[in-house]
Chain A
């Protein structure tokens, strides 16, 4: 693997696919939302961050 930082993309994907095993509960509430929903929302945001990072690193070494 020439660009190991690309593996970062797996983290939000696994966190979302596995959400019901990691986070299937109501407490603690996140911004008022049940924990399961808050967890998914958090990882959707992280997906954006991670893909921006990978995009930036990839464009430095085209």
Chain B
């Protein structure tokens, strides 16, 4: 217990130290532009670290292995969607970057304000951003609690870990902004790479005599487990889910915001080739889940997410458990800090719009918001209840609804008006809320239809309604006179 506790504390201190020193060396963080997008000066490697830092969250770490453990073949979608999103990023991100840099925007909601010449649309997008990001932040904190309490063998309670982690996060976000996050992201990626690839190879060999023999055992015990079923999580579920996840991939406000850290557009073209390789780390996460399936069977429901930590505790001593726990802790803290920063930036730009000659003003506002927002997140974490789970399930679908009007803003002849974009987003969000809260799926809507259609992810229906509303309203409204040109 003492050893793993020592590793966890040392890692937390190292992360704090790195982030504060990193920001010092890289120059000031006085203006909001320096604080939230590093003065738009990051090269390929830093942007890579930042984007990777956002993607490999506690979900990738605990959820990925939990899905492999509990669901089998449907978990394979986790390997696939990133690569398709990176292909899209080759064209999408330079286009967003170019406009965002010309307009000097820092947040997603500001981007929409400028693209459609409508602050009202920007505010709608801000509401969507914050409603999706808050539960996502809470999820990181809950994951952090699980990871630290499991890997310290219960020496630190989940609640204590959440408090300590949140305080550390607030300190380094307030002091260092995005430059601090990129430093801790580097530490995190090194540790995750080491732990996940290490465990993903060692566990199958140690427990089952190799990756091939491990799969042979699973196939012998559960012949259906490693192919997609013909109903439920079927081929049409797989393809529609990958598609939706790809469209929503860069719509997360904190990911969208990181795009503006880049020095030039070629950064994204190089990353489009690098990122798919990095995505393959998730393959080892799946291997860990499959290794756990045969060795620590019986985890049900939410406990499936414990598969990785339990199998590590079973197979190794404290040193390894401590290292894995520390890596897991960082998978919560790094994305958590970026989310926190993204919410603060979005709010600060609305509460204190930038004024000539006052660059430090909105930065100060954003910094002051960070502890307030973190406090709110803590409150939701401890008292959120079931509303939170519903919001979280909706969060990805909610941000995906921003895709049609984003795409329209990049196409020269789209003729989409601000009213059209707003109508599309609102209709999409209402459809997402109705289907999530009401538990509606394609099967309940169209019970008579064949499974190949009713297994389609219901999020796609919301997206279609969104596009229809966007096009219809745009036909009957006039574009804003001051629509920004890029």
**B273 to A34, Cβ gap below 8 A?**
no
B316 to chain A, nearest CB (A): 22
The distance in angstroms between the C-alpha atoms of A59 and B269, with both chains bound, is 10
B473 within 8 A of A: no
Indicate if A1 sits at the interface (CB-CB under 8 A): no
B347 close to chain A: CB less than 8 A = no
On whether the beta carbons of A37 and B272 are closer than 8 Å, the reply is no
Assess whether A13 is in contact with B84, with CB atoms less than 8 Å apart. Answer: yes
Nearest neighbor of B279 in chain A, beta-carbon distance:
A44
User: Could you say which residues of chain A place their CB within 8 Å of the CB of B211?
Assistant: 31-33
Please tell me if the beta carbons of A33 and B215 are within 8 angstroms of each other in the complex: yes
Tell whether, in the assembled complex, residue B277 and residue A45 are in contact, meaning their CB atoms are under 8 Å apart.
yes
Cβ distance B280 to chain A, nearest Cβ, rounded Å? 6
B341-356 to A contact mask, C-beta < 8 Å, 1/0: 0000000000000000
- Among A18, A48, A59, point to the contact of B276 (Cβ < 8 A): A48
* Contact pick for B280, options A18, A21, A44, CB 8 Å: A44
Tell me if B226 and A26 are in contact (CB < 8 A). yes
Task: Tell me the residues in window 1-46 of chain A with beta carbons closer than 8 Å to chain B beta carbons.
Answer: 9, 12-13, 16-21, 24-26, 29, 31-34, 36-37, 40-41, 43-45
Complex contacts, B235 vs chain A, CB 8 Å: 20-21, 24
- Judge if B90 is at the interface, Cβ distance under 8 Å: yes
The answer to whether B79 touches A37 (Cβ under 8 A) is: yes
Q: Which residue of A lies closest to B287 (CB)?
A: A33
Please report the C-alpha to C-alpha distance between residue A44 and residue B82 in the assembled complex, in whole angstroms: 9
* With contact pairs A17-B242, A51-B90 given, residues A24 and B80 touching in the complex (Cβ less than 8 Å): no
Q: Is A47's CB under 8 angstroms from B84's CB?
A: yes
Q: Do B212 and A31 have beta carbons less than 8 Å apart? A: yes
Count chain A CB atoms within 10 A of each CB in B83, B239, B274, B279 and give the residue with the most: B83
By the criterion CB–CB under 8 Å, are B87 and A13 in contact? yes
Contact B86 A36 (CB under 8 A): no
* B interface, size bucket: 35 or more
Cβ-defined contact, B83 with A26, below 8 A: no
B206, CB-defined interface residue at 8 Å: no
Contact of A16 among B83, B219, B277 (CB under 8 A): B83
Q: Tell me what chain A mostly uses at the interface: helix, strand, loop, or mixed.
A: helix
Q: Which residue on A lies nearest to B234, using beta carbons?
A: A20
Measured in the bound complex, the distance between the Cα atoms of B79 and A20 in whole Å is 13
Q: Which of A20, A43, A44, A45 contacts B228 (CB 8 A)?
A: A20
Task: Select one of A24, A34, A51, A59 contacting B272, CB under 8 A.
Answer: A51
- Kindly report which residue of chain A lies nearest to residue B280, judged by CB atoms: A44
Partner of A44, one of B212, B213, B276: B276
Query: Which residue of A21, A32, A49 contacts B210 across the interface (Cβ within 8 Å)?
Result: A32
User: Which residues of B have CB within 8 Å of A36?
Assistant: 73, 76, 226-228
B475 within 8 A of A: no
Contact B212 A29 (CB under 8 A): yes
Contact, CB under 8 Å: B273 / A55:
yes
* B238 sits at the interface (CB 8 A): yes
Per-residue CB contact flags for chain B residues 53-84 toward chain A (1 = under 8 Å, else 0) read 00000000000000000000100100111111
**Interface of B with A (CB < 8 Å)?**
73, 76, 79-84, 86-87, 90, 210-215, 219, 226-228, 234-235, 238-239, 242-243, 266, 269-270, 272-277, 279-280, 283, 286
Enumerate chain A interface residues (CB-CB to B < 8 A): 9, 12-13, 16-21, 24-26, 29, 31-34, 36-37, 40-41, 43-45, 47-52, 54-55, 58-59
Contacts A17-B239, A26-B227 known; 6 new A-B pairs at CB < 8 A: A12-B87, A36-B226, A43-B83, A44-B79, A48-B275, A59-B266
